[in-house]
Amino acid sequence: MAGLKRRVPMHSLRYFISMVGLFSKSGLLPWLADVVTPLWRLSYEEQLKPVINGYRNKSTFSVNRGPDGNPKTVGYYLGTWRDGNIVCVRSNNLKNIPEKHSQVAQGMDYWWWHGWIEAGRPIEGSCAAVIQYYEVFLRQSPLEPCLVFHEGGYWRELIVRTNSQGHTMAIITFHPQKLSQEELHVQKETVKEFFIRGPGAACDLTSLYFQESTMTRCSHQQSPYQLLFGEPYIFEELLSLKIRISPDAFFQINTAGAEMLYRTVGELTGVNSDTILLDICCGTGVIGLSLAQHTSQVLGIELVEQAVEDARWTAAFNGITNSEFHTGRAEKILPGLLKSKEDGQSVVAVVNPARAGLHYKVIQAIRNCRAIRTLVFVSCKLHGESTRNVIELCCPPDPAKKLLGEPFVLQQAVPVDLFPHTPHCELVLLFTR
């Protein structure tokens, strides 16, 4: 009879469970342990061992002259522009770059590729036995690389993004110069063919993007990322959230380290069900969304439109209904957003700016909002502009500088090492007033 619940005798239920093996060591217990205690198979020493090699989930490879003088070399720079001794060196032995990134940029036999090239388009000059995939593509292309903008050239950077499941997004930056749309289409089809059916297919890319850029750095709004094939996004699992990541969105380059960083931020905020969490420079919104269940509301501000779209998607997918994200410059959005927060409700602010630090108007808005009693500042480069930010947050009221609110006091500083093999770390600063 439809719609009626049927009672199952307890002895039958026990029999059923025992039959599927829940009470046996060889049944469902390992599966349950993998879910509840996922590190149970590892010794405690292994559980505590940090991931220090191959931790980057994003790598940017430049194109320039190599040690042998070939202008179509893919890698990283040595030397300085001031001294005029810049050279581009392959990244084969860098410990922080994962194998998957290196595979996109390197790792194929020259003669295999040579046999794939159609007649009349050989790679000129000698090649090592193992050379970079993108580098190989460039060396067979009739178009020159763009080394210096005013000197012409076309092929520029390669960006590779991966997630913990090994899905891989590649983004090729290209200076269009004066090529027609038909000529640009030919180049897009050529690189697409290389990575779908040519030697580059070994990279097993999840998606390939192409961006026509006439500047050193160009946002999606300035020049859209064009999807040549594959999925438009990659996804990551972090702090029990499924997170969507667009090609232009900021996401901490060390995923495991980011989880530790965000947990540290969450502990320092001290938010509760009466708190409004203000997430400034929020990127894909992970900090705010990971704390949403503990707050009354999350308000995020981010310049990159794609990242805001990712944050909204992540909130909707994970069933988070008390979040709100705004696109634009924080110095323009924040003052108006804070005007309605002077009614006695507690506001905790988290700021995670780029290396340039916070705009002065953002500091003014934070200082002059009496509702903000707690501020957590995440800095990847404390010296320089961030030092200026700290001084402005903590200095006495200064009407001449429109810093009218009560000063903050630095209470705690917690370093989180997201960049093994380098002298850099993220520093989380707790301010109260």
Report the catalytic residues: 380, 426
The whole-angstrom distance between residue 81's C-alpha and the CA centroid of its chain comes to 28
Cβ contact 174:212 at 8 Å: yes
Nearest to 236 by CA among 291, 165, 306: 165
Instruction: Say how far apart CA 34 and CA 307 lie, in whole Å.
Output: 32
Q: Which long-range contacts (CB under 8 A, 24 or more apart) does 217-222 make?
A: 218/173, 219/248, 219/304, 220/246, 220/247, 220/248, 220/304, 220/305, 220/306, 221/305
Instruction: Say how far apart CA 74 and CA 90 lie, in whole Å.
Output: 6
Q: CA dist 154 to 74, 81, 226, Å?
A: 14, 20, 16
